[in-house]
Amino acid sequence: MKQHLPLFLRKCALSLVALVTTQASFAQLGIFNEFEAGITIGPSNFLGDLGGNSGKGTTFLKDNNFSQTRFFVGAHITAYQSPLLGLRLAANYGTIAGDDAAIKGQGGWEEARRFRNTDFRSRVLEGMLVAEVYPTVLFEWDPEDLYRKFRPYGVIGVGVFNYNPQGTDPLTGEYVNLKPLSTEGQGFAEHPDRKPYKLTQLNIPMGLGVKYFLSDKTSLSLEVLHRKTFTDYIDDVSTNYIDPDLFDQYFGVGTQKAQLARRMANKTDQTNGASAGYGPGDKRGTPTQNDAYYSFNFKLSFKLARATNSDRQMRCPTLLRY
């Protein structure tokens, strides 16, 4: 994962610089009137197959495990067409995690997940282009007066993210990459419906926030940003357990990789005297619900430029008369 970080950040930095350097051109065309840039930091959480709370697993905050909270950091630049609408380009980096051991058993449906005893973590690199909509601007007496003003807003857009699920090896306690192990038979002929998942995916960021203007040029925002995704393998768990002998068949009988795949594919908790864990065909995850993640973002922003009326006017050359 580390080798992808510098390249990703360079691409994001180039994108941000490109937008900054072209702001004057946009202003002259009358597309954007103001620009601001800043930094983002905040806690992040995962919503997927692993972890959760009592009862059946869900896709919303009910299944949030605060013990698995991690953090995101990032940078953004926003171009405003008017006080009502902004277009934000952002790059973020952080971690999400899930762990069945975080479940507090109460004798219900959650016990099956707790018995599964699986965990994961993943570094996430994401870039997104989102629209910010400030509806209360329509009711403000003077939208140009910003000092100590609050503005609620909504966010929606499109993003791309890169991830790499890792799990704890029960033998060594070290994190190992899970995708190469095909823990649910991805890519095996015996499971033609389970294709190897891609580590770069699209998402749809959506959320709500409130912006407070510390001054005419500086603002502080608090927002919750949810990412809807189109994959169920952020945590490497989606469907049913497979025959562990398949790992020997595809990775070599008794090889280190085959043994590791066996351990990571089925980490059923047998510490309480259970004679057997889950077997082939037993439920491992819920393929009908894709994974998601979200973050609470604290955004500190600084105004870069403001186009004047003369900047926004398209001027034609004047012919001199004699």
Mind listing the domains of the chain with CATH numbers? 4-164+199-240+283-304 (2.40.160.20)
Query: Which pLDDT tens digit goes with each residue over 110-145?
Result: 677 788 899 999 999 999 999 999 999 998 888 787
pTM of the predicted model as reported, rounded to 2 decimal places: 0.82
HSE-CB of 63 using CA atoms within 13 angstroms:
24
Enter the DSSP assignment of 178. Answer: S
For residue 50, what are its two tokens?
């692993």
Phi/psi of residue 215, nearest 5 degrees: -155, -175
Query: Which pLDDT tens digit goes with each residue over 225-238?
Result: 999 999 999 999 99
Q: Dihedral of CA 56/62/67/70: which sign?
A: positive
The letter for the amino acid at 92 is N
The letter for the amino acid at 314 is M
Query: Which pLDDT tens digit goes with each residue over 42-56?
Result: 999 999 888 765 545
Angle at 197 (CA atoms; ends 118, 9), nearest 5 degrees: 95
The full DSSP string for 34-65 is: EEEEEEEEEEEEEESSS---SSS--SSGGG--
